């Protein structure tokens, strides 16, 4: 019940904590590092504008960590169950947003 792909809603406190921990691991600096490590392993580009409203196949070379942020990582903070996890997620989410905004500015030559 703790995996991103599972649709099972955790029922016990322990399951909720495990689910939250899994999601917290996916955001913030570690989440960014994981996304880029996986992208490198798959031969994916560093940046590409994600299509509006659709998720590209995650194993294709068209998929990038920007897609991962847009379609998955950006909403994980809203899928947490415990108050402690939500508190931790606020700062990590803010870092994600700032990182990908800065990356886009640099790619577009604005910085």
What are the b/e assignments for 15-44, b being 16+ CB within 10 Å? ebbbbbeebbebbbeebbebbeeebeeeeb
Give domain status of residue 7, yes or no.
no
Q: How many CA atoms lie within 13 A of 59 on its CB side?
A: 0
Give domain status of residue 77, yes or no.
yes
Q: What is the pLDDT along the chain (111 residues), one digit of tens a residue?
A: 445 555 688 999 999 999 999 999 999 999 999 999 999 998 888 888 876 666 655 556 678 899 889 888 999 999 999 999 999 999 999 999 999 999 999 999 998
Give domain status of residue 4, yes or no.
no
Give domain status of residue 6, yes or no.
no
- Count how many domains the chain has: 1
Give domain status of residue 1, yes or no.
no
* Residues with Cβ within 8 Å of residue 89, at least 6 apart in sequence: 23, 24, 27, 76, 77, 80
Q: What is the pLDDT of residue 54?
A: 60
Q: Check which CATH number belongs to the domain holding 94 and give it.
A: 1.20.58.1910
- Cβ(39)–Cβ(65) below 8 Å: yes
Give pLDDT tens digits for 78-99.
999 999 999 999 999 999 999 9
**Domain extent at residue 48:** 13-107
């Amino acid at each position: 019940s703790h995996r991103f792909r599972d649709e099972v809603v955790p029922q016990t406190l322990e399951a909720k904590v495990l689910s939250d921990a899994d999601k917290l691991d996916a955001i913030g600096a570690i989440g960014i590092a994981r996304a880029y490590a996986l992208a490198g392993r798959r031969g994916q580009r560093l940046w590409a504008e994600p299509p509006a409203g659709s998720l590209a196949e995650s194993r294709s070379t068209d998929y990038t960590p920007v897609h991962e942020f847009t379609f998955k990582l950006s909403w994980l903070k809203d899928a947490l169950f415990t108050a402690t996890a939500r508190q931790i997620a606020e700062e990590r989410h803010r870092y994600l947003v700032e990182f990908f905004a800065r990356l886009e500015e640099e790619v577009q030559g604005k910085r």
